[in-house]
Amino acid sequence: MNLLKSTALTALLMGSAFVPCKLSAQTTWQLEETTLVEYDLATGISIPWELLWGPDDMLWCTTRYGDVLHIDPATGAYDTVLELDVYGGNGEPGLLGMAMHPDWENTPEVFLVYTEGSWIGGTSERLSKFTWNGSELVDEQILHSVEAGGIHNGSRLLVLPDNTLLMTTGDVGDGGVSSQSDNSDNGKVLRFNLDGSVPANNPTPGSHVWSKGHRNAQGLCLGPNGLVYSSEHGQSNWDEFNIIEPGRNYGWPNVEGECNTNAEQAFCEANDVMEPLMTWSPCAAVNGIEYYDHVGIPEWQGSVLMAVLGGFALNDKRLSVLHMSEDGLTIESEDQFFSEFNQRVRDVAVNPYTGAVYLAFNGPSYPGSGLNVIKEFRPQSADQVEDWSDDRGLDMFPNPTSSSVRLNVGAAWNRAEASVYDMQGQEVWRGVLTPGLTLDVTSWNPGTYFLATTDDQGHTLSRTLVVK
């Protein structure tokens, strides 16, 4: 359902089931029975692409410009633990998907996909793994390379229960020629052993290809009963939500969406095409997905949470909640949330302890631009953060403001240098944080600003300030 942002009174009159409101210092959102508390976990980031809850109970994030961030979910403080030289971070290419080794305690490895090269020398998309030494990612090992392009590079990663790794690749804008070609790894879902070798039980001996006929899949997650779900961009119509099965053909470019024309039906019968569970037309630009199976938000339990970048329609940038049947084989309904932000939602992650949901925003327009925000939506029943004013916290009040803002500085950030930036990344203030510091913002233009500070150990903390 499409939901409108309303005041509490308007919502009461309209009977809205999902309403933002203000309680104390934080914005809250009301579901049927559950109240979600909204926090800006990390701000001023360009451009968050993958969000993962890590086996070390930290939130991990890739940015399209080549950084891997290691974020404390309790405070929002983060470290940049890898800086890659990537190709095309200001467009669709760059640093993309990420996954962790399942035996983290003994093998702390992180798998990453990124594009490298240049317009002159050619480009490729690398699947690499790095070793986590406790403070940074080191010792890159390149496992596989495929062709990269200015568009349609995929790429999500997913470790399966059998300790193999799936990687989605796009057709790099070739119209789907590579998607149907058995001589190309593009337009496919690939499957690897964790050392990069070909699993013995892949559909074609000696080939990494797990399924073919894909255009540009940018969502991948595990569902119930071992099902693998994928979300995939259509051309201008027929975005898809699929179940991925080995050896199956997903039709592109001969089939868009369901097999519903005479030519498509003939191709589907001849090539064992797997039809999608759901399609969207015109395209909504479906993206990162995560299966939600937590009691924290019972209204969403047993659903797939899907980030949506937004397509041709207004107000279609959102989080979609796909309510699945118990066996996971059908979608019973879709609910839509957070379109009020007018932000392209790139990915979603879940806190396994509280059931909180994290969303990575990429700005209001294609292909995404910073500075951006990672927001947390936490069930109020699990909420233990009041004003971020503990030792490692930093609170700004009043916020929003039109005159001045006072900073409540945790001891860890006292005397730290800080800067405030506008949405275009222009610095509007620089100074040193001290308890009770007050900033005069009367000369600042109305809009959203980001404060960023770094302590003496290199940890970064960021906060959002709204000037009205």
Q: Look up residue 427 and give its two tokens.
A: 């610095």
Cα–Cα distances (Å) from 237 to 234, 337, 458, in that order, read 6, 22, 46
The reported pLDDT for the residue numbered 391 is 61
What secondary structure does DSSP assign to 353-385, as a single string? TT--EEEEE--SSTT--SSEEEEEEEEGGG---
177 residue type, one letter: V
> Structure pTM?
0.90
Which of 65, 88, 95 has the alpha carbon at shortest distance from 151? 88
The reported pLDDT for the residue numbered 424 is 83
Query: How far apart, in whole angstroms, are the C-alpha atoms of residue 199 and residue 288?
Result: 26
> Tokens 């986590």, residue?
132
The reported pLDDT for the residue numbered 20 is 60
Query: How far apart, in whole angstroms, are the C-alpha atoms of residue 55 and residue 38?
Result: 24
Q: Look up residue 150 and give its two tokens.
A: 């200015």
Sheet holding 95-100, edge to edge: 95-100, 109-118, 122-132, 137-147
Cβ(306)–Cβ(287) under 8 Å? yes
User: Where are the domains positioned within the chain?
Assistant: 67-340, 394-467
Cα–Cα distances (Å) from 270 to 22, 258, 264, 324, in that order, read 57, 15, 10, 30
Architecture of the domain delimited by 67-340: 6 Propeller (2.120)
CATH 1.10.3720.10 describes domain 394-467: no
The reported pLDDT for the residue numbered 386 is 44
> Tokens 């924290």, residue?
296
Q: Look up residue 118 and give its two tokens.
A: 């240049």
Sheet holding 35-45, edge to edge: 19-23, 26-30, 35-45, 372-379, 357-361, 345-350
Cβ(316)–Cβ(281) under 8 Å? no
The reported pLDDT for the residue numbered 320 is 98
The reported pLDDT for the residue numbered 411 is 81
Query: How far apart, in whole angstroms, are the C-alpha atoms of residue 385 and residue 74?
Result: 8
Query: How far apart, in whole angstroms, are the C-alpha atoms of residue 454 and residue 135?
Result: 16
pLDDT (tens, 9 = 90+) of the chain, 468 residues, equals 333 332 222 222 223 345 565 434 589 999 999 999 999 999 999 999 999 999 999 999 999 999 999 999 988 999 999 999 999 888 899 999 999 999 999 999 999 999 999 877 679 999 999 999 999 999 999 999 999 999 999 999 999 999 999 999 999 999 999 999 999 999 999 999 999 999 999 999 999 999 999 999 999 999 999 999 999 999 999 999 999 999 999 999 999 999 999 999 999 999 999 999 999 999 999 999 999 999 999 999 999 999 999 987 777 999 999 999 999 999 999 999 999 999 999 999 999 999 999 999 999 999 888 899 999 999 998 865 444 445 667 888 888 899 999 988 888 788 889 999 988 889 999 999 988 899 999 999 998 899 999 887 788 988 888 999
Phi, psi of 96 (to 5 degrees): -120, -105
Contacts of 274 (CB under 8 A, 6+ apart): 211, 242, 243, 245, 248, 249, 250, 251
Does the CA dihedral 118-120-126-130 come out positive or negative?
Answer: negative
Query: How far apart, in whole angstroms, are the C-alpha atoms of residue 171 and residue 125?
Result: 12
Helix (H) or strand (E) holding 169: none
Query: How far apart, in whole angstroms, are the C-alpha atoms of residue 349 and residue 71?
Result: 13
| Half-sphere exposure for 221 (CA within 13 Å, toward CB) | 25
The reported pLDDT for the residue numbered 301 is 97
The reported pLDDT for the residue numbered 21 is 53
The reported pLDDT for the residue numbered 435 is 83
